[in-house]
Amino acid sequence: MSTDDEERHHPLRDTMFTWMSFMLSVVSIPAFCFCYLTTSIGRFVLLRILKSKFPELEFIKSVSIRSAMDTPSNTGYIVVLLKVNGDFNVDLMRHTIQTDIVDKYDRTSGRLCFPHLRCCLTKKWMRYAWTKPSKNFSIDNHVIELVGKNTVTEDDIMQRVNEVITEGIPAELPQWQITVIPVDEGDTFYMLVRIHHLYASEDGIGLSELLLLKPDDLNWKQPGGGGGGGGGEDDDDDDRP
């Protein structure tokens, strides 16, 4: 067959390939729909069984890729290391987080804005669930200051951070923690924030709330500490008649 004949057959071959791909896609639609329905029904039935078997737990309905990939040795945490210039008062910081975040209520519904910050996480049959709010919840277990022999220098801060992350958060505690790491030189400290990804996806809590990044919320620093903006109003220099 000549080259001209091959070139004339190319459009026909492309057309056949397009039609075959289209027909294969159409035939596959029922199979995809069947798989979707089977998976949805299976999840619904499994969730009903889990709720009846473990009525004391609040199972998470949605299943994300991150949740499906979680293992005891590879749990998904959001980790942030923040350097802050200035002195701090850890007791005032704990009080602020307790009152403005953990115990914060929605004015419209009257419910807690972040209801699961007091709850631990568990897994049953590969599904995450919240336990009931812990009666022994203490903010001291979630806002921790490393003092004394644990203070570090700027040179070995990352080594200390890796040690804290490796230790992990005890399983019997709600899976979020803020570790304050003072630095020997100068008025500087680091904040290491660790929070399970489900607190962000289910409760909608952001790092801005947990870090108190709003100007009005930065009240856990010592008065006169570096980085704290003045709260007074600027004087008006305009001459008034």
pLDDT at 63 over 80: no
Q: How far is CA 112 from the centre of its chain?
A: 18
Pairing of strands 127-130, 77-85: unpaired
Percent of the chain scoring above 90 in pLDDT = 17
Mean pLDDT of the chain: 78
Q: How far apart are CA 236 and CA 162, in angstroms?
A: 50
Nearest alpha-carbon partner for 157 in 134, 125, 127, 189: 189
- Average pLDDT (53-80) is 82
Task: Please give the DSSP secondary-structure letter assigned to residue 65.
Answer: H
pLDDT of residue 229: 36
Taking each continuous run of H as one helix and of E as one strand, the counts in the chain are 6, 7
Nearest alpha-carbon partner for 9 in 23, 17, 24: 17
- Verdict on whether the full-model pTM lies above 0.75: no
140-145-153 Cα angle (round to 5): 170
Contact 225, 86 (CB under 8 A): yes
Q: How far apart are CA 22 and CA 229, in angstroms?
A: 64
Q: How far apart are CA 84 and CA 187, in angstroms?
A: 9
pLDDT of residue 228: 37
- Average pLDDT (48-61) is 90
**pLDDT digit string, tens, across residues 75-129:** 888 888 888 887 778 888 899 889 888 888 888 888 888 889 999 998 888 888 9
